[in-house]
């Protein structure tokens, strides 16, 4: 299915964003918009992954450069500035993606239009892997920070991880706006504490305290006097883990209130600005305080100690980091279900993922993400180090494909300034492509090979689903004008087990549906069953409903097979008749009362569906709460 990006009744603004004209009361929300995001809520709902990455992005750079000793640590700021430059390129690029593809989809939508279907599936597969791994890594990292503060909970970390996952899933099932409201305060607390720490540190001549690092072994290398290009490249690739989540806003544009594209662009810029400021600010503090990485204490904790001292403010930063890391999984819950819905619309995933609940939630996508993430958490035992080597590879693939696709986009559009934009996207594609190759190569033996294996398998799965839908479409002759409908003789078969008000309702419905009605009953040759069958025949003759009762003998007391066999015989002897099996069932109002019923209707329906082509109609007779 094609993705529509505009219509005749739209107005285009200066950035190329097509927005529908305003209608009705300007102060009133459009229908359904109360369940969608504002720009501020978008920052809280879709940027937690990117914001939380400042807790491990600078540390990843420091740990690589520490191999070269103090001389290597001096390159922390230049490497961070290079990453910030790439961040700016990505933000500018994804603003254009949002404008060109307001239906969402990010890298998948760009590749689908400009690079072909199969390349788009690679982009989609890489994003799905990244989103799923982001949930697992975020939750385990947050719980790891918690168990570091409270070691007595270390043995229960898997259960705590699953508990956090259930909490985030439950909030997202209530709607994207509810999740944004729930996470707005933790996001504001984290960003505010980091910015305050940066500002406070810039006014310090030296660290206020080093209590958190005292007594811990330094991870700084010795004896290095030069820093090679390969080491800098590895540090750059490691630090690029801070860029995960930048694409989430472009994937989830339909989740924003109208004008959706404009709000999404503002969210993207706000995300990039906050993330860039925090990354650069932390790197400046690392150099200012001559910080050395130590075992068992995070770089962020040392910086909080140096800026605030070992006091209440230090613990506020730690608490905010723990909460935000644990909740950073929400980025995936905001972006992945929208991406899955687009894949479903294009017949690459089951169509159920395209459905929305009444709160504008892709509920099946949310539940699928939660289930797969839970399996990963159980597999890893809640250990972050088991999952980190798999993380961030997929996002680099998506970044690179998106940048290449946007280069093709500018060459096709040739709008004002297209050459500069194409060069910018091309440079971004080069940087992210190199970073992706380096990350994959350096982490291949640590578990990255699983992602390299899983990605083509996922793409093959998309292709299998598409072929299945193609065969179904051919069989149903979708896209063609069908032949005029014809009236055929209709025969309705009604299974009965006795006389009751339900039997009367069933025969009444059957006579209104069909030209001919047959009632059937399944009997057993045992003496007690024969007496019941004979009593039913006597009562049937006395009732005289005008419908013949046919007896089907079942020596094994089976119910479904005799009915389906009889329907098959009818189909063979009456090929010109449309046969319908109407199954009467009583349904209690209360759930526990339904467990008391014999489920005969389900047994018969399953057998008829499995063995025949007859139409199945299940007549539910509702019994009220008092059993009347």
Pull the structure tokens for residue 97: 């993606």
The secondary structure of residue 574, as a DSSP letter, is: -
Q: Report the phi/psi class of residue 309: left, alpha or beta, with left for phi > 0 and alpha for psi in -120 to 50.
A: left
For residue 464, name the pLDDT band (cuts at 50, 70, 90): very high
Give Cα separations from 225 to 61, 67, 74, 231 (angstroms).
18, 11, 11, 13
Distance CA 310, CA 208 (A): 8
Q: What is the pLDDT of residue 494?
A: 92
Distance CA 444, CA 451 (A): 9
Segment 188-193 mean pLDDT? 88
Which residues are within 8 A (CB) of 614 and not within 5 positions of it... i.e. 6 or more apart?
A: 493, 567, 571, 579, 580, 581, 608
Task: Give the DSSP per-residue string, 169-233.
Answer: HHHHHT-HHHHHHHHHHHHHHHHHHHHHHHHHHHT-SS-S--TTTTTSPB----S-----HHHHH
Distance CA 73, CA 299 (A): 13
| Residue 18 CB-half CA count within 13 A | 12
Output the pTM of the full model: 0.69
Question: What does the CA dihedral 5, 7, 13, 14 come to, rounded to 10 degrees?
Answer: 60
Q: Is the pLDDT of residue 395 over 80?
A: no
Distance CA 129, CA 264 (A): 23
pLDDT in tens, 111-169: 888 888 888 899 888 888 888 888 887 787 777 767 766 667 777 878 888 888 888 88
Distance CA 249, CA 272 (A): 11
Identify whether 259 is preceded by a cis peptide bond (ω within 30 of 0). Answer: yes
Distance CA 492, CA 515 (A): 8
Q: What is the pLDDT of residue 26?
A: 41
Instruction: Count each helix (H run) and each strand (E run) in the chain, helices first.
Output: 25, 7
Q: Is the pLDDT of residue 9 over 50?
A: no
Q: Residue 80, exposed/middle/buried by CB under 10 A (0-12, 13-18, 19+)?
A: buried
pLDDT in tens, 507-564: 999 999 888 999 999 888 877 778 888 888 888 989 988 888 988 888 877 888 889 9
> What value does the mean pLDDT of the chain take?
79
Question: What does the CA dihedral 577, 578, 579, 582 come to, rounded to 10 degrees?
Answer: -140
Q: What is the pLDDT of residue 5?
A: 35
Task: Give the DSSP per-residue string, 476-523.
Answer: HTTTSPPPPP---EEEEEEE-SS-SHHHHHHHHHHHHH-SEEEEEEEE
Which residues are within 8 A (CB) of 35 and not within 5 positions of it... i.e. 6 or more apart?
A: 175, 176, 177, 359, 360, 361
Segment 194-210 mean pLDDT? 86
pLDDT in tens, 305-330: 888 888 888 888 888 887 887 777 77
Q: What is the pLDDT of residue 2?
A: 37
Distance CA 224, CA 74 (A): 12
Residue ranges with strand state E in 364-443: none
Comparing C-alpha atoms, which of 225, 177, 302 is closest to residue 67? Answer: 225
Q: Are 54 and 282 in contact (CB under 8 A)?
A: yes
Q: Are strands 18-19 and 11-12 parallel, antiparallel or unpaired?
A: antiparallel
**Which backbone phi and psi does 42 adopt, to 5 degrees?**
-60, -40
Pull the structure tokens for residue 602: 């389900």
Q: How many CB atoms lie within 10 A of CB 285?
A: 24
């Amino acid at each position: 299915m094609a993705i529509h990006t505009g219509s005749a009744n739209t107005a285009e603004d200066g950035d190329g964003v097509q927005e529908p004209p305003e209608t009705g009361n300007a102060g009133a929300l459009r229908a359904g918009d109360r369940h969608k995001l504002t720009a501020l809520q978008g920052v809280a709902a879709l940027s937690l992954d990117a914001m939380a990455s400042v807790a491990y992005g600078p540390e990843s750079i420091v740990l690589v450069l520490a191999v070269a000793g103090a001389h290597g640590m001096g390159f922390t700021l230049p490497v961070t500035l290079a990453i910030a430059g790439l961040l700016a390129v990505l933000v500018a690029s994804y603003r254009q993606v949002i404008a060109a593809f307001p239906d969402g989809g990010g890298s998948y939508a760009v590749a689908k239009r400009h690079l072909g279907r199969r390349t788009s599936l690679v982009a989609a597969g890489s994003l799905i892997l990244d989103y799923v791994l982001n949930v697992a890594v975020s939750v385990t990292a947050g719980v790891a920070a918690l168990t570091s503060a409270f070691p007595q909970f270390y043995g229960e970390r898997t259960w705590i991880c699953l508990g956090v996952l259930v909490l985030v899933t439950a909030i997202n099932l209530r709607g994207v706006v509810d999740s944004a409201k729930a996470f707005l305060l933790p996001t504001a607390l984290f960003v505010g504490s980091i910015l305050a720490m940066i500002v406070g540190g810039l006014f310090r001549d030296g660290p206020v305290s080093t209590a958190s690092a005292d007594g811990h072994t330094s991870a700084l290398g010795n004896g290095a006097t030069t820093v090679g290009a390969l080491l800098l490249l590895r540090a750059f690739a490691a630090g690029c883990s801070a860029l995960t989540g930048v694409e989430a806003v472009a994937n989830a544009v339909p989740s924003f209130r109208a004008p959706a594209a404009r709000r999404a662009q503002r969210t993207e810029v706000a995300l990039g600005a906050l993330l860039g400021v925090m990354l650069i600010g932390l790197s400046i503090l690392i150099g200012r305080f001559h910080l050395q990485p130590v075992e068992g204490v995070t770089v962020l904790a040392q910086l909080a100690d140096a800026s605030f001292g070992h006091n209440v403010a230090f613990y506020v930063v730690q608490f905010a980091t723990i909460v935000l890391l644990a909740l950073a999984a929400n980025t995936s819950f905001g972006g992945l279900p929208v991406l899955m819905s687009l894949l479903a619309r294009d017949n690459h995933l089951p169509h159920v993922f395209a459905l929305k609940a009444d709160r504008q939630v892709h509920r099946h996508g949310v539940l699928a993400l939660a289930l797969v993430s839970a399996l990963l958490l159980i597999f890893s035992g809640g250990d972050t180090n088991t999952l980190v080597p798999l993380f961030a590879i997929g996002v680099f693939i998506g970044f690179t494909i998106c940048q290449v696709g946007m280069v093709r986009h500018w060459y096709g559009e040739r709008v004002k300034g297209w050459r500069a934009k194409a060069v910018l996207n091309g440079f971004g594609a080069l940087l992210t492509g190199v970073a992706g190759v380096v990350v994959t190569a350096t982490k291949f033996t640590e578990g990255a090979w699983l992602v390299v294996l899983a990605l083509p398998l996922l793409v093959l799965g998309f292709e299998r689903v598409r072929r299945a839908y193609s065969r179904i479409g051919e069989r149903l002759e979708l896209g063609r004008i069908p032949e005029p409908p014809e009236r055929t003789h209709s025969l309705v078969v009604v299974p009965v087990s006795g006389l009751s008000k339900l039997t009367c309702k069933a025969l009444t419905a059957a006579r209104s549906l069909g030209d001919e009605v047959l009632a059937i009953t399944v009997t057993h040759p045992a003496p007690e069953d024969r007496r019941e069958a004979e009593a039913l025949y006597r009562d049937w003759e006395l009732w005289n409903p005008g419908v013949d009762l046919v007896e089907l003998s079942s020596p094994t007391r089976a119910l479904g097979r005799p009915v389906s066999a009889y329907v098959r015989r009818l189909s063979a002897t009456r090929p010109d008749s449309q046969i319908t099996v109407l199954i009467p069932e009583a349904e209690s109002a209360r759930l526990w009362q339904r467990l008391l019923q014999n489920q005969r209707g389900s047994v018969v329906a399953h057998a008829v569906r499995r063995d025949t082509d007859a139409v199945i109609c299940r007549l539910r007779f509702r019994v009220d709460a008092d059993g009347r």
